[in-house]
Structure 1
Amino acid sequence: MTHTSQGSYKASTAIAVVIANMIGTGVFTSLGYQIIDIKSTFVLLMLWLVGGIAALCGALTYAELAARLPRSGGEYNFLSRIYHPSIGFVSGWVSLTVGFAAPTALAAMTFAAYLDSALTGVELNRMALALALVLVVAYTHGRNHKASGGLQNWFTLIKIILIIGFVLIVSATVSEPQAVHFLPDAGDGALLTSGAFAVALIYVNYAYTGWNAATYITGEVDNPGRSVPLVLIAGTSVVIVLYLALNATFLYAVPMEMLEGRIEVGVIVAQQTFGQTGALVMGGVLSLLLISTVSAMLMAGPRVLQVMGEDFRLFHRLSIRHADGVPRIAIYTQAALTVLFIITSTFESILVFSGFILGLSSLATVLGVFVLRFRQGKDQQEGDSGYRTWLYPMPPLIYSTIVIWTLTFITLNRPQEAAIALAVIVLGFISYWLTERVSR
């Protein structure tokens, strides 16, 4: 994969950001939770297909928004220009507090756990490992676009190769394969519409989080109006295929009861297939996969802080660029917040809480395409780039329906996390009001 030209990222790097943002902890940790209430291989695979369809529908919609409203910042940029600066500010506030820092911390913590499990006989401090990864990656991204893009491209390429290799080797060598049904059995229809399916979809949607990553660096991608839609769609499609292949492999290699309620799914499958040595190797492999995830989040998240700094005088220092346009202060700020989460948070609370709050933000953004289309009839000067959402209005409607369904079940089943998320949003509006007053 090639490096970027100085001062911007190529489309290949943007695709790498999308893929690496999506393929992180979720696909290697969530199947064990899903099996607790769902014992059908067909329904389990449908979970990943439905989640993938939702992500692809979201990507198709975001592609239009990115083409018509080209600027870095993702939801912050879209919501500010579609609705009101206060809505965008709250989205930026969410990104500042939990949107990127929390998932980055989660990926770094899992990296440390897998690496520690792989290096038997060596006593490692997991927190120190997670912190070291964040600091090294943040420093690299803060240097320049060439170093940043090179790091992202190579570790994402390694990630894809390792996943394909894992799927092929496990499928070829498993001694006692399990039955995996690609067609529904009796009772599967009821499972597909059950509350258990909706709750399990929370974890799947979290695993797909990141399909919108390229919109955070739009302003630094070559020819964004043309490139970003292709990047979003290509990156998301690749991940859907990899996720279905990985989960089919997990279910093919190991009996469900061995995975039920377990978080280290990849290691368990490797241990059963290759023995203890294989499990140790798998731990090391998974830790390598997560480096690109941490890298992608520390590349995308700071761009939200950067554009907020451009729009709000109080955050001006976050907008300062160094070394051919890299927002170094924003990158180091994001890293500092990630470090704070690593020191203070736990795995599951981060997963559910950040999944809920990011779902709300993306839902408001996807619904914004209807607002833009309506406004276009009144104001032809609104962005008029050529790309329009394929099969409109089906993609935004499908995405919105799935996300609303999921958020409803989170609210009913995990009210504490939902309440904390809503409290963060309220604090965001208060912060906007205070910021406006200070700026005036």
Structure 2
Amino acid sequence: MENNNQLLQEKTELQRQLGLPETLSIVINRIIGSGIFRTPAPIMLITASVSMFYGVWVLGGVATILGALCYAELVAMMPKAGGPYVFLKAAFPPVVTFLRGWAMFFVSETGAIAAVALFFSENAVSLFHTGPAKYPVALIAIAVVFMLTLFNSYGIKLSGTLQNIFGLAKIAILVLIVATAFSSGINTANFSSEATTAGPSGWAAVIAIFTAMRYSFFAYSGWEGATYVAEEVKNPSRNLPLSLFGGIGIVMLLYLLINSAYINLLGPAKMGTSTSVAVDSMQIAIGSAGALFVIIAIMVNTFSNVNTQIFVKSRTWFAMSRDQLFFRPLSKIHPRYKTPNYSLYAQAVWASVLILFSTTAKSNYEAVIDYFSFTSSVFNVLTFASVFVLRMKYPDIARPYKTFGYPITLIIVILIQLTFMIVTLITAFIPSLLGIALTATGLIYYKFYVPEESKQLKSSMS
């Protein structure tokens, strides 16, 4: 019972100032970034079928909603800073939670901040300059990361206000693109089976769908964003589940509409070979002004996405440090603004290092997704499995929300993730191994620098 009380109540200096509008905006802002402007092309290229193309987006959305059903139980039960890290900590030994956090900080999460900041910067530079501009792009990206880090260090209210503004702007932009795309009517020929060559069938179709889902999962990624700031949400047992379901539902609808807009204007064949489906679509619709509009729209979306990533992800490093599983200074709270400033600044520094490192290599958007997909899926499966584990370990704990359709829902989402993992390992073997290897380097830090008492702690909810 003592562990149960520690689960529900933990002393914290963070302040609960985020309501439902702010948490809903966090989910929407965290999901909608660069993905919807880039990933439809490789998905169409792989599936070579309009129906399979839609199937990938629907299956990705359904899998995301099923995942949210599981996360809703966990976060309503444990409304603490850190998101998935907190759930793994409660269910598994410290080394598992440490490796998840290590991979997030040094590989996937700060890497995502760097990648989206660079994508913003590339579009900003393209407004004034044509041709290669690696160093100006990198410097602008670093400036954006530090500027938004500074904003987020000045209190939770300012961060919440920015989330609301950007969330509304994103929805308005996507709705405007859809309206423009269909303003001249529906090109039914582009949606017919004759518009594409015969797509794969049988097992080849299954492999194609799950291969393409790498990109739809990437476009939906970030849906769990609000769980990272659970310690700063008012009435978290109510507002966090509502924000997850509402945010994912809104984004799924927008994604289906925006993809329909792309198909309506470009058709499947042009979509599959496009390097920027959004720009190409709007250029067809309203000429060069359309291309300019999309570039500005991408900048707004990516800028707000970087802002949300900086805001929510810093709470994981704060939570890890508080548990003595990461660099100790990162658990410090600013005495006036009550924000984890050291965690924010460390995150900005490492993201900037990755941005500078990017100047030595040629950017490859799809390769980055391949690189992180397998490792992320491994930890996703473990996080979903936490629902099983915690139901057995702590059957009497209060659960304000219980996973709908348990255990069937949980089994389905884990099977989807496992299938996705296997297909990813087969179709992106080398990138998957590299992601695993980089995660494994964290074991060196864990062995020599994590205090022995932290290693000996049994998995708990405290």
The normalised TM-score by structure 1 is: 0.91
Corresponding residue of 1:405: 419
Which residue in 2 is equivalent to 1:328?
341
- Residue in structure 1 matched with residue 286 of structure 2 by the alignment: 274
Say yes or no: does 1:249 pair with 2:258: no
Deviations 1:298-329 (A, max 9, x none): 01110000011111076221011113321011
The one-letter amino acid of 1:39's match is: A
- The equivalent of 1:341 in structure 2 is 354
The equivalent of 1:434 in structure 2 is 448
1:42 to 48, 51, 59: 51
In the alignment, what sits opposite 1:152?
163
Is contact 1:30–1:263 with CA below 8 Å preserved after alignment? Answer: no
Output one character per residue of 1:341-376: Cα deviation in whole Å (capped at 9) or x when no partner.
Answer: 222243333222223222221211001111122224
Whole-angstrom CA distance in 2 between matches of 1:29 and 1:300:
24
| Aligned CA distance change for structure 1 residues 45 and 145 (closer, same or farther; 3 Å) | same
SS at match of 2:182: helix
Q: Secondary structure at the match of 1:194?
A: helix
2:87 corresponds, among 78, 100, 121, to: 78
From the superposition, tell whether residues 242 and 83 of structure 1 become closer, same or farther in structure 2 (CA, over 3 Å).
Answer: same
Do the aligned residues in 1 keep the contact of 2:47 with 2:200 (CA within 8 Å)? no
Alignment counterpart, residue 260 of structure 1, candidates 235, 259, 272: 272
* Structure 1 residues 178 and 317, CA gap change in structure 2 (3 angstroms): farther
Query: What one-letter code is carried by the residue in structure 2 that aligns with 1:340?
Result: V
Instruction: From 435, 439, 443, give the equivalent of 1:421.
Output: 435
Provide closer, same or farther for how the CA distance between residues 82 and 438 of structure 1 changes in structure 2, counting only shifts above 3 A: closer
Give 1:385's aligned residue.
Answer: 399
In the other structure, the counterpart of 1:291 is 303
1:373 corresponding residue in structure 2: 391
The verdict on how the C-alpha distance between 1:192 and 1:239 changes in structure 2, with shifts beyond 3 A counting, is farther
Is contact 1:72–1:215 with CA below 8 Å preserved after alignment? Answer: yes
Equivalent pairs counted in the alignment come to 431
2:172 pairs with 1:161 = yes
Counterpart-to-counterpart distance in 2, 1:191 and 1:253: 31
2-side partners of 1:313 and 1:279: how far apart? Answer: 47
The offset of 1:107, in angstroms, is: 1.2
- Find the counterpart in structure 2 of residue 20 from structure 1: 29
Tell me, what secondary structure is at the counterpart of 2:450?
Answer: helix
Taking only the aligned residue pairs, the percentage that are identical comes to: 27
- Please name the residue that 2:20 is paired with: 11
Q: Could you tell me how far 1:140 is from its partner in structure 2? A: 0.4
Q: CA deviation at 1:435?
A: 2.9
1:51 aligns with one of 60, 68, 71: 60
CA distance in 1, matches of 2:432, 2:106: 15
Matched with 1:62 is 71
Distance 1:341 1:191 in 2: 39
- TM-score under structure 2 length normalisation: 0.87
Which deviates more from structure 2 when the two are superposed, residues 405-414 or residues 393-402? Answer: 393-402
Residue pairs, 1:196-211, within 5 angstroms? 196-211=208-223
Gaps of 5+ in 1: none
Residues 313 and 97 from structure 1, CA distance in 2 versus in 1: closer, same or farther, beyond 3 angstroms?
Answer: closer
Q: Secondary structure at the match of 1:324?
A: coil
Q: Tell me whether 1:136 sits opposite 2:154 in the alignment.
A: no
Deviation, 1:131, is 1.8
Q: Kindly provide the amino acid, as one letter, of the partner of residue 158 in structure 2.
A: A
What code does the residue aligned with 1:390 have? F
Q: 1:315 to 1:252 in 2, by over 3 A?
A: same
For residue 348 of structure 2, what is the amino acid of its counterpart? A
Check whether the contact 1:37–1:196 (CA below 8 A) recurs between aligned residues. Answer: yes
Q: Does 1:116 align with 2:125?
A: yes
